[in-house]
Amino acid sequence: MTFLAPLWLAAGAAAAAGLVLVHFFARRRPRPAPLPTARFVPDIAARAPSMASRPTDLLLLLVRLAAVVAIGLALARPARTPARRPIRRVVVLDRSRAVASASEATDSARAWVGTGDTLVGAGERSHVPTLSSGLIAAIRAASVMRDRADSLELVIVSPFVNASFDAATDSIRRLWPGRARLVQVRAATQAAPARITLAGAGDDPLRATVALLGGRAGAESRIVRALPAGGDSAFARGGGVLVAWPRDPGSVWPERTTDTVGAVMAGEAVVVAPFVRSATLPPSHAPTLPIAHWVDGVPAAIERAFASGCIRDVAIGVPAVGDLALRGSMRRLVDELTGPCGGRLSLAPADATVLAAMRHDGPLMPAHLAPPVPRRTAASAWLLALAALLLLADMALRPRSSRP
């Protein structure tokens, strides 16, 4: 048993001592005595402090002492002392699309996880596939484990490709003041969709853009210019990239007010044109990833994972009049919107210096350096409940004359 806030124990003891003292100095009604001239005594509350040789109201004193002690113990937050080991591990498992085989990576991670160690995930499939989120989760886990180990070892299971790092990864890594063990797994290979299928009318201006884009190597992408049908969903379920790009987005996802916006961006593609913004992308219960934004930051296209493929909703209206569909910027936009699920990843192996910084040769992190986190102990809640009951009992036991 240990106390997370032991100062409260001293405070509780002081309060208990004060309480006993108060019972010696109880204000009590003086002993009645006849005095014919009592009328000349000021009429104030008929109580006077008096010093007793023994504490008064012993039962009341005991109840109050128990309440004070219970409150002191509750605030001191008693906790069972966890089993302490010299070293515990925090294993960060990269579960992003950069990993070739999720099961293989999981097996590799589990090989490092022993009893009392912690496994945290990083780079969920539909999110940015970097290790930053996993490192933050590892630091949180270290805070929880700081009382259970002398040192903490960080194990990172990842393919360690360029996509595994972003601008914040290095800074976050420095928050773990100790070395890390890097366990490399196979990186995925990513190919661009080979063919773009456009299901739409013959006068669809987007047809010209797709035609100018030409063929690509990789999986197939399908653009539907209306709401997707059952076959389209099956296509996405099979690993395809389904792009739901209504010809008139305002009729499918109507916007309350229609306005114009000057540009739209997706990845490296920027299209500057007087777009009419007449649609708002529908909210989704599934995690979504914005893949295109209007110039004012409003998402213009989102992606959500669907089985092994993905579905993208695009709310960009392509004007039928003008040469916008023929511009190179428009072709790059279509290329981005029909790219691989999750965006194009840089799957090249990370630089050796980056890996060295990630490894950070040196001693393991002492557990006490992990930031402390407030811990809730069940005993505190029970003790507070007991104190509340005792205070209720105190009200019941209090002499009627002394009640307010």
For the bound state, the minimum distance from the C-beta of residue 72 to another protein, rounded and expressed in Å, comes to 35
Contact status: 352 vs another protein (CB under 8 A): no
Choose, by CB under 8 A, the member of 25, 26, 29, 347 that binds another protein: 29
Residue whose structure tokens are 């996509």: 163
Choose, by CB under 8 A, the member of 42, 215, 283, 297 that binds another protein: 42
Contact stretch for another protein (CB under 8 A) within 26-34, 183-191, 244-252, 362-370? 26-34
Burial 243-261 (b: 16+ CB within 10 A, else e): bbbbbebbebeeeeeeeeb
Mapping DSSP to helix (H, G, I), strand (E, B) and coil, where does residue 349 land?
strand
How far apart are the C-alpha atoms of 215 and 200, rounded to whole Å?
Answer: 18
Choose, by CB under 8 A, the member of 1, 34, 286, 352 that binds another protein: 34
For the bound state, the minimum distance from the C-beta of residue 400 to another protein, rounded and expressed in Å, comes to 17
Contact stretch for another protein (CB under 8 A) within 47-55, 112-120, 341-349, 367-375? 47-55
Contact stretch for another protein (CB under 8 A) within 39-47, 65-73, 137-145, 342-350? 39-47
Contact stretch for another protein (CB under 8 A) within 41-49, 172-180, 204-212, 375-383? 41-49
Contact status: 280 vs another protein (CB under 8 A): no
For the bound state, the minimum distance from the C-beta of residue 25 to another protein, rounded and expressed in Å, comes to 13
What's the Cα-to-Cα distance from 183 to each of 94, 123, 349, rounded to whole Å? Answer: 10, 16, 14
Choose, by CB under 8 A, the member of 2, 6, 20, 47 that binds another protein: 47
Contact stretch for another protein (CB under 8 A) within 33-41, 305-313, 341-349, 360-368? 33-41
Name residues whose C-beta falls within 8 Å of residue 388's C-beta, 6 or more positions apart in sequence. none
Complex with another protein: residue 31 or 54, whichever CB lies closer: 31
Q: Output the six-digit token pair for 182.
A: 């890097």
How far apart are the C-alpha atoms of 255 and 299, rounded to whole Å?
Answer: 13
Phi, psi of 232 (to 5 degrees): -65, -40
Choose, by CB under 8 A, the member of 40, 51, 285, 396 that binds another protein: 40
How far apart are the C-alpha atoms of 397 and 404, rounded to whole Å?
Answer: 14
For the bound state, the minimum distance from the C-beta of residue 403 to another protein, rounded and expressed in Å, comes to 19
Which DSSP string do the residues of 184-242 spell out, in sequence order?
E-PBP-----S-EEEES-TT-HHHHHHHHH---SSS-EEEESSS--HHHHHHHHTT-EE
Phi, psi of 378 (to 5 degrees): -65, -30
Q: Which residue type is seen at 343?
A: G
Contact status: 375 vs another protein (CB under 8 A): no
| DSSP symbol at 161 | B
Contact status: 38 vs another protein (CB under 8 A): yes
Complex with another protein: residue 33 or 217, whichever CB lies closer: 33
Output the CA torsion sign for 288, 289, 295, 296. positive
Q: Beta strands 221-224 and 27-28: pairing type?
A: unpaired
Nearest CA among 231, 234, 264 for reference residue 249 = 264
Complex with another protein: residue 38 or 352, whichever CB lies closer: 38
Number of residues binding to another protein, judged by CB under 8 A: 21
Complex with another protein: residue 39 or 285, whichever CB lies closer: 39
How far apart are the C-alpha atoms of 69 and 10, rounded to whole Å?
Answer: 10
Choose, by CB under 8 A, the member of 31, 54, 285, 400 that binds another protein: 31
Contact stretch for another protein (CB under 8 A) within 36-44, 68-76, 249-257, 297-305? 36-44
Choose, by CB under 8 A, the member of 33, 217, 286, 352 that binds another protein: 33
Contact status: 401 vs another protein (CB under 8 A): no
| DSSP symbol at 156 | E
Choose, by CB under 8 A, the member of 1, 37, 285, 401 that binds another protein: 37
Phi, psi of 388 (to 5 degrees): -60, -45
* Contact string 50-79 vs another protein (x = CB under 8 A): x-----------------------------
| DSSP symbol at 43 | -
Contact status: 39 vs another protein (CB under 8 A): yes
Return residues touching another protein (CB under 8 A): 29-48, 50
